[in-house]
Chain A
Amino acid sequence: QSVLTQPPSASGTPGQRVTISCSGSSSNIGSNYVYWYQQLPGTAPKLLIYRHNKRPSGVPDRFSGSRSGTSASLAISGLRSEDEADYYCAAWDDTLSGPGLVFGGGTKVTVL
């Protein structure tokens, strides 16, 4: 059971816009930055979005992130076949038992 909740799957046709949600709480998303990682099949994860909505150099502007309250979302516009991957949200969690980075369970994006 992941601390952050994501839908297990999402899909779209090429060119469509796909949105992935990530739900948390006041101790993580509600008070800390949200990050998104993309994991292509058989490879290590890659930082896609940091600090809610910033893109590292080289990440296309088709990818965008946002946060509202204790939820966040990742949008992929102009979906392409190479976007087929697993996407994970992450946030620091300020729990009393010990702070740490928490991930969502991941969302598998399929390009139909």
Chain B
Amino acid sequence: EVQLLQSGGVLVQPGESLRLSCAASGFTFSSSAMSWIRQAPEKGLEWVSGISGSGDDTYYADSVKGRFTISRDNSKNMLYLQTNSLRVDDTAVYYCAKDKKVNAIVPELDYWGQGTLVTVSS
């Protein structure tokens, strides 16, 4: 059974940093690209970043480029999102999601984690 378990919610202040984690099991992790998608309170979905199965290729939304870094450790079946210089408008539930494919272009997200609420507030 495919499982994506995310770290718990957190409250941080504007300007601070945070690393989100996603533990994968039930599939060959290195054979799947992965993505992070976020959803602000009462808002729609916003794709944040994607990474290929090998970790060699990464993609970012313009809204987070230069502030967020996606990475993976295939030896530990872990996906990460390092978030720096957090802003109030980064407040959202962050989902990790598994891709049906190994390359990160045109994500086909067939399994999603339970989500992690990140609140950025002073």
B35 interfacial contact with A, CB 8 Å: yes
Q: In chain B, what residue has the closest Cβ to A45?
A: B112
Q: Are A101 and B47 in contact (CB under 8 A)?
A: yes
Task: Name the interface residues of B62-78: CB closer than 8 Å to any CB of A.
Answer: 62, 65
CA distance A39 to B44 in the complex (A): 10
Decide if B108 touches A98 in the complex (CB within 8 Å). Answer: no
**Measured CA separation A14–B47 after assembly (Å):** 33
Interface residues of A in 14-42 (CB under 8 A from B): 32-33, 35, 37, 39
A35-B108, A44-B95, A45-B95 as given contacts; A102 in contact with B47, CB under 8 Å:
yes
- B110 touches A (CB below 8 Å): yes
Query: Are A106 and B44 touching (Cβ within 8 A)?
Result: yes
User: Contact at A100–B109, with CB atoms within 8 Å?
Assistant: no
| Distance in angstroms between the alpha carbons of A39 and B106 in the assembled complex | 20
**A109, chain B: closest CB distance, angstroms:** 14
Not counting A33-B106, A39-B45, a sample of 13 additional A-B residue pairs whose C-beta atoms are within 8 angstroms of each other reads A37-B109, A44-B112, A45-B37, A45-B112, A47-B108, A51-B108, A92-B105, A92-B106, A100-B60, A101-B35, A101-B47, A101-B107, A103-B46
